[in-house]
Amino acid sequence: MPTTKALVATNYFFPGQKKFYRGKVRDVYHISDKYLVVVACDRISAFDHVLPKPIPYKGQILNQIAAYFLDATNHICPNWKISTPDPNVTIGHQCKPFKIEMVIRGYLAGHAWREYKSGKRIICGCSMPDGMKENDKFPTPIVTPTIKADKGHDTDISADEIIAQGIVTADHWNQLEKYTRQLYDFGNAMAQKNGLILVDTKYEFGLKGEEIMLIDEVHTPDSSRYFYLNEYEDLQQKGLEQKQLSKEFVRQWLIENNFQGLEGQEIPEMTEEFINSVTSRYLELFEKVTAQKFEKTDYSEIDLRIENIVLMNLQQFNIQ
């Protein structure tokens, strides 16, 4: 349950509730097989493990960034969001998810770089040119989908394999790829207006009836990687590491402290100083990507506040 410093978890039972799912970060309430109430908590995960201590305001930051970009991109692709009645809550349509994640990469970073460095020049059926350095820009962004795993890491897969295995139809794939490229281009243009580069990101889609909808979070630090625009060229020319706004710095801290989620490894102690530094990085990213000042939520009685506001909002759906 929530503390005065963080929203760790929730445990409600709403009218019409059919199912409850606790993800690594979000608590998801399925309502009347039509709607989702998603509560973004302050848990943080890395290497498929939820870390033992929460990050204050992280849930609010992720929820509000996602809502901001869902609203900003709904002219490109319809999405699941109906309302954001609370800083930590989004209410939306329940969709049938496609069993793939649409990853798009504008730059050779992260997983793509690790594959490239090992000698591979094809990832998910996409060719990567010879002679590239880490964090170089691709001539054209590449779409590198993954199959969503119930446990462990997601698995790379090509478009041809997705269609051949019947995971997604050819028509649906073509629309998903089109939406993915349009969303990335728009998101990167928004980022650059605010002095950032959207390096790579992932999108999830689902079906509401026959309509494809964008679901889950969009362009948040948990699903995206950002570089600083004004430093990018200089750092690349000098062969220096790019400073980035993403959750990657948490992974790097864990690696430096001998944890990568492997058997026998222990999660290092999360000091107050480290926790505060993570909050600060998330706050910085919120204000950079949205060009808005972040207003911290009040943690006093946050569990009651969320329950009451969700109950009030569910009344509009005439759920008994």
C-alpha separations of 182 from 26, 176, 293 in Å? 27, 10, 27
Distance CA 284, CA 199 (A): 17
C-alpha separations of 149 from 100, 184, 218, 220 in Å? 9, 23, 20, 21
* 316, 95 contact by CB (below 8 A): no
Encode pLDDT of 50-94 as tens digits: 999 999 999 999 999 999 999 999 999 999 999 999 999 999 999
pLDDT on residue 82: 97
User: Taking Cα atoms as reference points, which of 113, 106, 90 lies closest to residue 187?
Assistant: 106
Please state which of the ranges 103-117, 290-304, 306-320 shows the lowest mean pLDDT. Answer: 306-320
Which pair of structure tokens corresponds to residue 171?
A: 């028509």
**Taking the complete model, does pTM exceed 0.85, yes or no?**
yes
Distance CA 201, CA 182 (A): 12
User: Taking Cα atoms as reference points, which of 79, 84, 88 lies closest to residue 298?
Assistant: 88
Question: Could you tell me which residues come within 8 angstroms of residue 187 by beta carbon, excluding any fewer than 6 positions away?
Answer: 69, 73, 198, 201, 218, 219, 224
Distance CA 109, CA 106 (A): 9
pLDDT on residue 86: 97
C-alpha separations of 137 from 79, 158, 297 in Å? 29, 21, 38
Please, which pLDDT band fits residue 154 given cuts at 50, 70 and 90? Answer: confident
* 75, 69 contact by CB (below 8 A): no
Distance CA 316, CA 210 (A): 24
Instruction: For Cα atoms 152, 148, 38, give the angle at the middle one, nearest 5 degrees.
Output: 95
Q: Which DSSP letter does residue 238 get?
A: T
Please, which pLDDT band fits residue 320 given cuts at 50, 70 and 90? Answer: low
Please, which pLDDT band fits residue 304 given cuts at 50, 70 and 90? Answer: very high
C-alpha separations of 3 from 10, 277, 304 in Å? 11, 19, 12
Question: Could you tell me which residues come within 8 angstroms of residue 35 by beta carbon, excluding any fewer than 6 positions away?
Answer: 16, 82, 91, 92, 93, 94, 314, 317
Q: Hey, which residues does 123 pair with through a beta bridge?
A: 126
Please, which pLDDT band fits residue 116 given cuts at 50, 70 and 90? Answer: very high
195 alpha carbon, distance to own chain's centre: 20
Distance CA 68, CA 285 (A): 13
pLDDT on residue 150: 59
Q: Which helix (H) or strand (E) holds 175?
A: helix 170-193
Distance CA 122, CA 198 (A): 22
Distance CA 79, CA 82 (A): 9
* 60, 283 contact by CB (below 8 A): no
